A and B are shown apart, each in its own frame.
Chain A
């Protein structure tokens, strides 16, 4: 089956720093989503980005489907950005089942 690997697995930042999280996938995908899982466990939708680049405030994402990777950029990080970031890919078909990546645990220190 498809492998979805994220790097780095863990990241510690000082508040105000920038970071780039990476998601590599081993096969062609139909769609890709980025999520932030907050300390209470809720998965928050960040981006739905099968290809191209999107921006939302301090966050932006780029997916290069032909090269099988996606990047999530966090600029001017804040303590509220802490949590686990997951990418998830959808292989297509009628019901778009998501396969989640391994996750990146981010801690932003004041």
Chain B
């Protein structure tokens, strides 16, 4: 089945220690998104890639970076995690104008703990 995969599902990192979360997709969608969801809140978009074009949200901290080496993979790098970065990180894909229309599909998420 075509899907969005995130690894790891749970990640523990230390305060200030860089961490990378990964997302892969078999849907061949050209847009990939990263959302941050803190406890009891709605998901909030951090940034997205349209093909290789990176689009940062205005209020996304500089501490968050992303890479998309190819269509299938996208990474979220947190350069110096703080306690406030503990959250669920959700990856999503879509293919505007394609078969799925504008519908976004989400991976299972990575729950990040910062100690």
A102 to B42, CA, bound (A): 6
Asked if B103 contacts A45 (CB within 8 A), the reply is yes
Q: Which of A14-22, A35-43, A52-60, A62-70 contacts B (4 or more CB under 8 A)?
A: A35-43
Question: Shortest beta-carbon distance, B91 to chain A, in Å?
Answer: 11
Taking the nearest CB of chain A, how far is it from the CB of B41, in angstroms? 8
A-B contact count (CB 8 A): 60
What residues on A are CB-neighbors of B109 within 8 Å? 41-43
Contact between B108 and A42 (Cβ–Cβ < 8 Å)? yes
B42 (CB) vs chain A CBs: closest residue: A100
Q: Interface stretch among B15-23, B66-74, B75-83, B94-102?
A: B94-102
With contact pairs A43-B43, A86-B42, A100-B43 given, residues A94 and B96 touching in the complex (Cβ less than 8 Å): yes
Report the contact-size class of chain B (Cβ under 8 Å from the partner): 20 to 34
Residues of chain A from 26 to 53 with CB closer than 8 A to chain B in the complex: 30-31, 33, 35, 40-43, 45, 48
B7 located at the interface, meaning its Cβ lies under 8 Å from any Cβ of chain A in the complex: no
With A41-B88, A43-B90 in contact, do A96 and B104 touch (Cβ < 8 Å)? yes
Q: Is there a chain A Cβ closer than 8 Å to B27's Cβ?
A: no
Residues of B within 8 A of A33 (CB): 103-104
B residues sitting closer than 8 Å to A (CB atoms) are: 31, 33, 37, 42-45, 48, 50, 55, 88, 90, 92, 94, 96, 101-109, 111
13 contacts between A and B (CB under 8 A): A41-B37, A41-B90, A42-B108, A43-B106, A45-B103, A45-B106, A48-B103, A95-B48, A95-B96, A96-B31, A96-B94, A98-B33, A98-B45
